[in-house]
Structure 1
Amino acid sequence: MREEEVRMWKKFKRTKSQALREEIVKKYLYLVKYVAGRVAIGLPPNVEFNDLVSYGILGLFDAITKYDVSQGNKFETYAVSRIRGSIMDELRKLDWAPRLLRKKAREIEKKCKELEEKNGRSVSDDELAEALNISTDELNGIYSDLNSTTFLSLDEVWQNDDGNKPISRLQTIEDSLITNQFSYVHQNEVKEILAHSIDDLPEKEKLVVVLYYYENLTLREIGEILDVSESRVCQIHTKVVTRLRSHLTRRVGELTLDA
């Protein structure tokens, strides 16, 4: 962190200046818009971007109040977590993911994990659907519903060297529950497991991950490349993330048992 930023934060903590607080808010408002933009991807169209920004600003205020410069961490890294948490909390209050659908998502992840442990390999849609006593079409329908109501993503915001703008890299599962679950495992191990899991995906699913997370293409653009509809890309994306989360949970469990 640059010296002038350290001095700014120390002055703010010492004086609690409202004018300085407003300056800090203006300085880091771009983080709110960035996080809101990433969260907005895949949400129903009736969710207003400006509402997401409003939720995120509350997180920025909280981050400014609680940030401790003496810890040596970049404010941007700390703030992004608070901003996203604030947005997610508000969306959960609105309950965009109905309880029944969330229950189905947990059942799919649990069954996928069980089958992988039993067979020692990734399972096909047909195998997973049979184990769940539903048709493959029904399974795909659930994936489509999940995509529009939940916040499944592999995306985590990290900072570039100068700390001015956030950059998006494939690091780990972003969902807060999963992130907390893996907090006791070294991040390098998690990233290695995830990288291997992605490499083992079928070609079309792997391509969706690469184009979306590495090339930053929109779902519509990916659909044009694959010659499929945007909704089909959404479905593939949701399926991939659900399976990767299940696989990652299983592998992390094996790591802790081996430790």
Structure 2
Amino acid sequence: MSTKPQQRPNSKDDVILWIKQYQENELEEAQTKLVEHYKPLVQTLSRKFSRGPEHAEDLFQVGMLGLLGAIRRFDLSVGRSFESFAVPTVVGEIKRYIRDKTWSVHVPRRIKELGPKIKKAVDLLTNDLQRSPKVDEIAEFINVSVEEVLEAMEMGRSYQALSVDKPIEADQEGGEATLLDLVGRQEKGYEQTDQQILLEKAFSVLNEREKQILQLTYFENLSQKETGERLSISQMHVSRLQRRALQKLRDSIHIKPTEYLK
């Protein structure tokens, strides 16, 4: 009774052969074998940095891109194992993605890079001191200022923004509201009121004919010709009175011509 021979596990020699075949001949089959061989490794690495299933999938895709880059750039002449090159390459791509793409609020790059250093310092100092380290101890450990540590800690809270639709407890009876309900809104009426008061004071410098000109041309949207016909004066006279009235208003409220009636 014949038995089917078992497929031998892939060896380091197989990996080197596939990399050589892909780099020299762009053999798609060799690339596929490498991807399948190292897929579990990339999954393991991406899960270490993930915050949930959806995030893990995004990081896995980023890690696979890092793996493909490692396959292309690996120097066969160096003599070291491919894994020793691939792992830091994949991890580097994942960390870069987390740093640049997953913050909800724009944060300076130096602050993003300082965050992991602070976390590592806290872990090490907590173990050594058997207590939570102080801010100045963390700053001294990673050789930065206390202000930088505090800034990084504060910015770290912006890693994920809360949705404005997130329900929160609004009162002691258990009533709920959303963040959007609590956000103040700019009341346009205040600005309009201020402008109205300003214009009322400014209009006091005009005579009745000048007020009529501005009322008809700016508030009733009549042309200068139509305004002249309404007041039984020429269009040229309307234009002259309009310019004089506007100049009086500018002088009265001390604004530049380009800022008037924006």
In the superposition, the TM-score normalised over structure 2's length comes to 0.38
Question: Which structure's relative contact order is higher, taking Cα pairs within 8 Å and 6+ residues apart?
Answer: 1
For the pair shown, which has the larger CA radius of gyration, 1 or 2?
Answer: 2
